[in-house]
A and B are shown apart, each in its own frame.
Chain A
Amino acid sequence: MKLKLKIWRQKNRNSKGKFEIYDLDNVSEEMTFLEMLDYLNSKLILEDKEPVAFDSDCREGICGMCGLYINGRTHGPEKEVTTCQLSMKAFKDRSTITVEPWRSKAFPVIKDLVVDRTSFDQLIQAGGYISADTGAAPEANSIIIKKETVDRAFDAGICIGCGACVATCKNASAMLFVGSKVTQLALLPQGKAEATIRAISMVAKMDELGFGNCTNTGACEAECPKGISISNIAKLNREYLYAKIQD
């Protein structure tokens, strides 16, 4: 394959970025998208040009470190894959591919395609946990939980924290990220005691960090590489409303 790559280049947090165009020959459709970028970088390095900075680690879709905005779609055109799992088969020969970092006030660009997602850690710090100190836990089978309940908690808990939901949302809302954590922990009996305070603290933190409001467009669900359901947002709203009524 022969490709024209239009890639966002930005030196650091404080500089202004711009698109650069690269022509890349001999791309195999067997490559993953990130292997294609590795290949581009190896060429740039040998041509004494600066390689493109981008994040990735596990390269099997579970760590959440990668994430690029490709041709206007988070993680590219395929459904339910992370950027690292995206195959070059998804692209046509002689096409132009536009590659950008996540765009969101809460995710500032550090360099090229790399963004700072510490705001997600801050959201979890605001209450995305069960306060069970080491050593204080009861015998695991003393808590009986319906299989369906645990399966639903698991489905909410598989979020990888990549940030695609925020990047794809026109309001840059983090409701799906927060909603899935609140839902996972509120469904489980172990997490119920803190369900109210958790919902209130996490939502307040979300506002404070500059994430936008949810207007139910559903883009987050459509673009989530793990297929996390928007029903988690409804559950968050219920938890939040219930908390406010109690207030």
Chain B
Amino acid sequence: MSILDSKIPDGPLAEKWSKHKASIKLVNPANRKKLDVIVVGSGAAGASAAASIAELGYNVKVFAFQDSSRRAHSIASQGGINATKNYKNDADSDYRLFYDMIKGGDFRAREANVYRCAEVSNSVIDQFTAQGVPFAREYSGYLANRSFGGVQVSRTFYAQGQTGQQCTIAAYQALMRQIHEGKAKMYNRCNMLDIVVKDGKARGIIAKNIETGEIERYSAHAVVLATGGFGTVYYLSTLAINSNGSAALAAYKKGAFLANPSLAQIHPTSIPKLNEYQSKLTLMSESLRNDGRVWVPKEKGDKRKPNDIPEEERDYYLERRYPAFGNLVPRDVASRAAKERCDAGYGAGETGLSVYLDFKDAIQKQGEKTISDKYGTLFDLYNKVTETNPYKEPMRIYPASHYTMGGLWVDYNLMTTIPGLYAIGESNFSDHGANRLGASSLLQCAADGYFILPVTIADYLADEIRTPTIPTDTPEFEEAEKAVKERLNKLISLNGTKTITSFHKRLGNILWDNSSMVRSEKSLKKALQLVNELEKEFWSDVKVPGSINEFNQELDRAGRVADFFELASLIIIDALNREESCGAHFREEYQTEEGEPKRNDEKFQYVAAWEYQGESKPPKLHKEELKFENVKVVQRSYK
């Protein structure tokens, strides 16, 4: 059934990557400057890949829809980045990080890729430090670490609550240096709308110049997507409001398989939705659960202020249910537990849709100064959004759409099923299985961008050294450009009665209610029908103002929302297919007596990779069977 070849190298797990590096094809430095590489997206993965590939001598073109590469949403990553330095002497190792990620992902990630991610983690910290990331230090001057959810060691490096900003800016600066040296070129405010495939290989992209509206063609010997996740499909999410799934969908429709699209992370600690006008949700880093204790009142519907509720009337439900990991259970577990308490009527706040995250004990024990040193920027952010002071009163938090574990299917070289098309960082599926552990997203982005892709892309480009610059006046570019223009024209010409945002909100509500933290066959089937109906309504009644050949933010937004409909259907189809619960994918029908996810390894220990079959045809499923040769597949327990 499967035509998927993951190209995992032979040999023992710990030797695969070094063996692969030793046997992979190379491109002679003199030949590299004849080869063009397009990188779409400029966050932690895109910028680090673009800079590193340019350093090697290839010609790199980088595309971002924002006004600068530095805006990418990796910048909002807060709590930290994992590495196996074992500076804390707590018996950490590559194997342990690998094991934590595999277990955290509920045995739905690919062993070899995850191990490699752990294996290069120390180099990532070295690289960022060398590039000037001010990681937190102890008074001794040595690097500091903290702990994160789902693990029992301290391996997370951090820069207050702005680790992502500091790391992303370091990668951005490395890219700016390559631009200065003429090895890379940046295309800001340039929105990729399609991928051009010629003779079965990715050869370029069609992009819209956001300022002028012009549709432009760009060619290359290889195309790299570093376009992030599509958690904004839920409308409200912790992502930037322009984050989208259009690149992933474009690749899918050109033949790249999309893997596990339903595996989406609902992060447990977001500031709750405060009102109807809200355009996004603000995350509170998981690192806060190092010192914050999560609780709800023991009494249903208790409307007292949190500080008025005495200790014995508080239910620290994570510590109660999961004594071994307590407040540091993985995200999927923490989110479901919060939802369970709120649904049962114990939620805090006016709406009853929040739980407390309390720092009283930590401040008492460690002092306000220490807490402020660790989380000052996060406390300030919370204060700004909610106008309450978390040093004095517990935070209120609730789960929110955050991260996409699923994504474009890639092999060990990070290449999709389209030769010459790569996907790195959050845009691929490979490292986080059914649930991502905290502080491993920045790690994966930097691992892919700095250390993995620059090596593996040579294996493909080595066979391209005789291919001259790819011309853009070929039928493939013409057709792709024509299709892009037709769609934009269609969107503009609809001239309906409803705004794009109103459709996006309604789509988000359908998914949130029927296909988020808890799903069932019934809710998913209902969601699929509602999404299809809404999609039809969108294509007959949406109003897109303005014209094509101008700066038109609404038109850009319309294209993204149109794509969200197709992605939403795919998410639901994948969730329906996976008749088990694993990690963040919780099907009501499949749970243990204690309400934990119940996997079905016999039937579903595989990656579901979906192939596009044409408009309004159901996608075709391909299975990559997951083999676990280095861990024992067990029922995940954090008790």
Task: Tell me whether B134 and A154 are in contact (CB under 8 A).
Answer: yes
Partner of A184, one of B52, B134, B275: B134
The answer, yes or no, to whether A137 is at the interface (CB within 8 Å) is: yes
Residue of A nearest to B186 (CB): A121
Q: Which residues of B contact A87 (CB under 8 A)?
A: 387
B235-269: contact bitstring with A at CB < 8 Å (1 yes, 0 no)? 00000111000000000000000000000000000
A150 to B126, Cβ gap below 8 A? Answer: no
Q: Please give me the residue from chain B that is nearest to A134 by CB atom.
A: B52
Whether A30 contacts B127 in the complex (CB less than 8 A), given A51-B545, A85-B385, A147-B141, comes out as no
Minimum distance in angstroms from B556 CB to a CB of chain A: 11
A77 within 8 A of B: no
B539 within 8 A of A: no
Task: Check if B68 sits within 8 Å of A191, measured CB to CB.
Answer: no
The complex places the Cα of A34 from the Cα of B385 at a distance, in Å, of 14
Whether B311 is near chain A, meaning CB under 8 Å from some CB there, is no
Asked whether, in the complex, the Cβ of B275 is within 8 Å of the Cβ of A125, the reply is no
Contact between A145 and B141 (Cβ–Cβ < 8 Å)?
A: yes
Contact B545 A45 (CB under 8 A): yes
Stretch of A59-67, A164-172, A206-214, A235-243 contacting B (4+ beta carbons < 8 Å): A59-67
Q: Mark B51-88, 1 if CB is under 8 A from A, else 0.
A: 11001000000000011111111011000000001010
What distance in Å separates the Cβ of B18 from its nearest Cβ neighbour in chain A? 14
Name the CB-closest residue of B to A133. Answer: B55
Given A42-B501, A48-B545, A64-B71, also A121-B176 (CB < 8 A): yes
Given A57-B71, A134-B52, A147:B176 Cβ within 8 A: no
With known contacts A46-B499, A134-B55, A147-B141, A53–B68 Cβ distance under 8 A: no
* Chain A residues whose C-beta falls within 8 Å of the C-beta of B69 in the assembled complex: 121
* Complex Cα–Cα for A126 and B179 (A): 10
Interchain CB contact under 8 A, A144 and B165: no
| Cα of A206 to Cα of B556 in the assembled complex, Å | 33
- Judging by beta carbons under 8 Å apart, are A85 and B68 in contact? no
8 Å CB contact of A35 from B174, B176, B279, B497: B279
Central interface residue in A118, A157, A190, by most chain B CB within 10 Å = A157
Whole-angstrom distance between the alpha carbons of A81 and B385 in the complex? 10
**Cα(A59)–Cα(B76), bound, Å:** 10
Closest chain B residue to A185, Cβ basis: B132
A117, A124, A161, A190: the one within 8 Å of B132 (CB) = A190
Which of B142, B279, B543 sits near A141, CB closer than 8 Å? Answer: B142
**C-alpha spacing A50/B546, complex, angstroms:** 7
- Contacts known (A53-B553, A138-B130); A85 close to B384, Cβ less than 8 A: yes
Contacts of B67 in A (CB 8 A): 55, 65, 116-118
Judge whether A60 and B280 touch: CB under 8 Å. Answer: yes
Of the four ranges (under 10, 10 to 19, 20 to 34, 35 or more), the interface on chain B belongs to 35 or more
B132 close to A191 (CB less than 8 A): yes
Option from A62, A134, A143, A150 in Cβ contact (under 8 Å) with B76: A62
Tell which of A35, A111, A184 touches B551, judged by Cβ atoms closer than 8 Å: A111
> Do residues A117 and B166 form an inter-chain contact, with CB atoms below 8 A?
no
Contact with B along A40-76 (1 / 0, CB 8 A): 0110111011110101111111111100000000000
Pick from A41, A133, A144: contact of B141, CB under 8 Å: A144
Q: Contacts of A118 on B, CB cut-off 8 Å? A: 67-68, 188
User: CB-nearest residue of chain B relative to A110?
Assistant: B211
- Contact: A34 with B279, CB < 8 Å? yes
User: Is there an interface contact between B129 and A137, defined as CB atoms closer than 8 Å?
Assistant: yes
Give the chain B neighbours of A161 by CB distance below 8 A: 68, 70
Q: For the complex, is A175 an interface residue (Cβ under 8 Å from B)?
A: no
- Is A95 among interface residues, defined by CB-CB distance under 8 A? no
Of listed B69, B137, B377, B451, residue having the most chain A CB within 10 A: B137
A144 to B177, CA, bound (A): 26
- On chain B, the residues within 8 Å of A124 by CB distance are 172-173, 176
Q: Decide yes or no whether B131 CB sits under 8 A from chain A.
A: yes
Smallest CB separation, A44 vs chain B (Å):
8
Of all chain A residues, which has the CB nearest B172? A124
The CA-CA distance from A147 to B134 in the complex, in Å, is 10
List of B residues within 8 angstroms of A39 by Cβ: 277
Min C-beta distance of A38 to chain B, whole Å:
6
Q: Give complex CA distance A55, B240 in Å.
A: 12
Considering the chains assembled together, what is the distance between the CA atoms of A32 and B277 in angstroms?
Answer: 9
CA gap between A171 and B29 in the complex, in Å = 47
Please measure, in the bound complex, the distance between the C-alpha atom of A138 and the C-alpha atom of B143, giving whole angstroms: 14
A245 interfacial contact with B, CB 8 Å? no
Which B residues touch A160, using CB under 8 A?
165
Provide the residues of chain A in CB contact with B282, threshold 8 Å: 59-60
Q: Are B180 and A130 in contact (CB under 8 A)?
A: no
Q: Are B160 and A154 in contact (CB under 8 A)?
A: yes
Interface residues on A, range: 35 or more
Name the A residues within 8 Å of B169 (CB-CB).
Answer: 157
Give Cα A188 to B131, complex, Å: 10
B159 at the interface (CB under 8 A from A): yes
Q: Which residue of A lies closest to B497 (CB)?
A: A46
Q: Is B568 an interface residue (CB 8 A)?
A: no
- In whole angstroms, how far apart are the Cα atoms of A60 and B136 in the complex? 23
| Residue pair A157, B76 in contact (C-beta under 8 Å) | no
Cα(A29)–Cα(B160), bound, Å: 31
CB–CB A57/B165 < 8 A: no
Whether B241 pairs with A59 at a CB distance below 8 angstroms is yes
Q: Is the CB of B241 within 8 A of A61?
A: no
Alpha-carbon gap, A63 to B169, bound state (A)? 10
The minimal Cβ–Cβ distance linking B381 to chain A, given in whole angstroms, is 7
A78 to nearest B CB, angstroms?
Answer: 9
Smallest CB gap from B165: residue in A: A62
A205 smallest CB distance to B (angstroms)? 10
Residue pair A134, B454 in contact (C-beta under 8 Å): yes
How far is B142's CA from A44's CA once the two chains are assembled, in angstroms? 56
A237 to B554 Cα, complex, angstroms = 44
- Report the bound CA distance from A200 to B165 in whole Å: 26
Instruction: Name, among A39, A114, A126, A140, the residue most crowded by chain B CB atoms within 10 Å (CB to CB).
Output: A140
> Which chain B residues lie closer than 8 Å to A85 at the CB level?
384-385
Tell me whether A146 and B186 are in contact (CB under 8 A).
no
- Say whether B278 faces chain A, with CB atoms less than 8 Å apart: yes
Residue on A nearest B450 in the bound complex, by CB: A134
Q: How far is the CA of A132 from the CA of B502 in the complex (A)?
A: 47
**Chain B residue nearest in CB terms to A132:** B130
CA distance A121 to B394 in the complex (A): 40
Looking at B140, B159, B177, B188, which has the most chain A CB atoms within 10 Å of its CB? B177
Chain A residues contacting B240 (CB-CB under 8 Å) are: 57-59, 63
Q: Give CA–CA (A243, B364) in the complex, Å.
A: 48
**Which residues in B have their C-beta under 8 angstroms from that of A144?**
140-142
A216 CB within 8 Å of chain B? no
Contact A81 B384 (CB under 8 A): yes
Complex Cα distance A59/B297, Å? Answer: 32
Cβ-defined contact, B87 with A141, below 8 A: yes
The answer to whether A57 and B73 touch (CB under 8 A), given A137-B123, A137-B126, is: yes
A contacts, CB < 8 Å to B: 11-12, 28, 30-32, 34-35, 38-39, 41-42, 44-46, 48-51, 53, 55-65, 81, 85, 87, 110-111, 114, 116-118, 120-121, 124-126, 128-141, 143-147, 150-151, 153-154, 157-158, 160-161, 184-185, 188, 190-191
CB<8 Å pairs between A and B, sample of 5 = A35-B279, A59-B280, A65-B66, A140-B126, A153-B132
Q: Report the 7 A-B pairs with minimum CB-CB distance, sorted nearest first.
A: A137-B130, A129-B173, A132-B130, A144-B141, A137-B126, A140-B129, A134-B52
